[in-house]
Structure 1
Amino acid sequence: MSQVFARARADGRAVLVGYLPAGFPSVAGGIAAVRALAEAGADVVEVGLPYSDPTMDGPVIQAASDAALRRGVTTADVLRTVEAVAVTGVPALVMTYWNPIERYGVDAFARDLAAAGGAGAITPDLPPEEAGPWLAATADAGLDSVFLVAPSSTDARLARVAAVSKGFIYAASLMGVTGTRERVGAQAADLTRRVRAVTDTPVAVGLGVSTPEQAAEVAGFADGVIVGSALVKALLEAERAGADPGEAEVALRGIVAGLAAGVRRPEPSVPRG
């Protein structure tokens, strides 16, 4: 995944990371949706592992994840979804809370994720202090381990997270849960600056980005722009409107294309790198 960020930096732009949960609107529909992200311009695809007790997800992602769980999505389905992204040549990450990994088996999950072609995983509720077994498993499997920082993180905490993160560091743009917002907030640029003071690992900003204009704003100071709720919302609205899968996919591709254009015209703010 480091190569993706390096190429984008050489091109003077940020990386677009798109998120969708596996299994929504169905396993097959979710696979088609993540492939659409990869084909429409996402540089990295986050595949969400639906979980019954998400602490970071807002109402949009929760609604889709709950539907996927009710429809019987499994961890094996998540890995199949990862594989569908990987065959496109776009790196695929799993975004998962710790409990599903622990239940599956730490070493087994890392091994099977790598076998599916996954590039790594984001574990939002796993503290670095308790990540020893996971770091060992991901190192053995050749996976990137992505950890989160927030505006409330102390400088010492930023350094601790930076020391264990591989691929990139996920910077939450503000305090709270995921969801689209009218403004990303000035905290994101300051947090990015603080992270850069302790590491050369790329910084990708998430929580709140939903428009090409916001993507361009964040691309002006961050190495990556993470978009989730806006993409999930498109699938939810299509399902509620009774649209066929083809229509939903067209809508999704249009949103991703706009966001991809946004990260390619960054608004100068804090220099990347």
Structure 2
Amino acid sequence: MSETGRIAARFAALKEQNRAALVTFITAGDPDFETSLEILRRLPQAGADIIELGMPFTDPMADGPAIQLASQRALAAGQTLPRTLEMVRRFRETDAETPIVLMGYYNPIYVYGNARFLAEAREAGVDGLIVVDLPPEEDEELCLPALEAGINFIRLATPTTDAARLPKVLNNASGFLYYVSVTGVTGTREPDVDAVRDALAYIRTATDLPIAVGFGVKTPQQARAIAEVADGVVVGSALVNAVRDSLDDQGRATDGTVSAVLDLVSALAEGVRAARQ
């Protein structure tokens, strides 16, 4: 899968175009199933190259307030892991090429059953997993079974990942490496582009995997700056905030919810595509 799957194919195509990928994150089921599905289906046309679909969880410890609230909205609207997989199935009815990565925490997967989850995820059309609370020491738990099932297991590296830790992070990683550009939780600080450039140069001495950079990227200008140095730019909190800001007083979707997200994605995509010109 790591050599022939959608993620590898997308990064290879973008390398030929000499540009970075725009990786967009939304929370499945936020603010409700149908609205979230419509956003998901229209993300590629708006400019998303790879989609991270968040699996809502009650205790998202690595996420800042924006994504925590998105999880709460989705769970309140009845989103479950089976419904998240159903969203992927519905997306695949009209899009067979855009990579989808499920991102979240291990507890819902464990409760669902690892083997069952991996089989259904593969059948639904999931390309990769990011499970933020499963370290490399636990690879036998889910990482290796995922790879055997043909699903990339994407690791996170951070500014505190030192030379001793990096080989462990990279071992069994596939698809791409997600570099967390700032310390702390999602969406709370802006990335330092010079520091990111230096970090990526070092990491590239240890891996040929594409490296996507996220946490803190909110504007087209920031996306363009990161796209100058990275293989991918991940935007999450800004998009879930666009959902939040479009809701009515009861927290329900409005006529402007879908367009609020897609308009921001289009602007971010323009920023990414303007890099390396």
Tell me which residue corresponds to 2:261. 252
* Equivalent position SS for 2:182: coil
Please tell me whether residue 123 in structure 1 is matched to residue 131 in structure 2: yes
Cα deviation, 1:116-141, whole Å, max 9, x if unaligned, reads 11101111111011121312321222
**Identity, % of aligned positions:** 39
Q: Is the 8 A contact 1:174 1:187 kept in 2?
A: no
* Correspondence for 1:151 among 140, 145, 159: 159
Separation (CA, whole Å) in 1 of partners of 2:141 and 2:189: 36
Separation (CA, whole Å) in 1 of partners of 2:11 and 2:62: 25
Q: Aligned letter for 2:11?
A: F
Tell me which residue corresponds to 1:271. none
* Equivalent position SS for 2:39: helix
Tell me which residue corresponds to 2:50. 44
Separation (CA, whole Å) in 2 of partners of 1:187 and 1:83: 39
Please tell me whether residue 176 in structure 1 is matched to residue 170 in structure 2: no
Tell me which residue corresponds to 1:103. 111
Separation (CA, whole Å) in 2 of partners of 1:84 and 1:195: 37
Separation (CA, whole Å) in 1 of partners of 2:98 and 2:230: 20
Please tell me whether residue 218 in structure 1 is matched to residue 202 in structure 2: no
Cα deviation, 1:147-200, whole Å, max 9, x if unaligned, reads 101000111211221121110001000101111645545332222122111000
1:1-273 alignment, distance < 5 Å: 1-87=7-93, 88=95, 89-179=97-187, 181-240=189-248, 245-266=254-275
Q: Is the 8 A contact 2:29 2:79 kept in 1?
A: yes
Displacement of 1:252:
1.4
Moved over 6 A (4+): none
Q: Aligned letter for 1:257?
A: S
Separation (CA, whole Å) in 2 of partners of 1:202 and 1:180: 25
**How has the CA–CA distance of structure 1 residues 180 and 31 changed in structure 2, closer, same or farther, with 3 Å as cutoff?**
farther
* Equivalent position SS for 1:264: helix
Q: Is the 8 A contact 2:220 2:271 kept in 1?
A: yes
Separation (CA, whole Å) in 1 of partners of 2:257 and 2:77: 19
Cα deviation, 1:180-234, whole Å, max 9, x if unaligned, reads 6455453322221221110000100000111111111111111000000111000
* Equivalent position SS for 1:47: strand
Question: Mean Cα displacement is larger for which, 227-236 or 97-106?
Answer: 97-106
Cα deviation, 1:48-85, whole Å, max 9, x if unaligned, reads 00111111111011111111112221111110122233
Separation (CA, whole Å) in 1 of partners of 2:230 and 2:190: 19
- How many residues end up aligned between the 2 structures? 268
Separation (CA, whole Å) in 1 of partners of 2:201 and 2:35: 39
Structure 2 residue runs without a partner (length 5+) = 1-6
Separation (CA, whole Å) in 2 of partners of 1:180 and 1:215: 16
**How has the CA–CA distance of structure 1 residues 85 and 156 changed in structure 2, closer, same or farther, with 3 Å as cutoff?**
farther
Q: Is the 8 A contact 1:47 1:81 kept in 2?
A: no
Q: Is the 8 A contact 1:155 1:194 kept in 2?
A: no
TM-score normalised by L of structure 1: 0.93
> CA RMSD of the aligned region, Å?
1.7
Separation (CA, whole Å) in 1 of partners of 2:229 and 2:91: 28
* Equivalent position SS for 1:55: coil
Q: Is the 8 A contact 2:31 2:253 kept in 1?
A: no
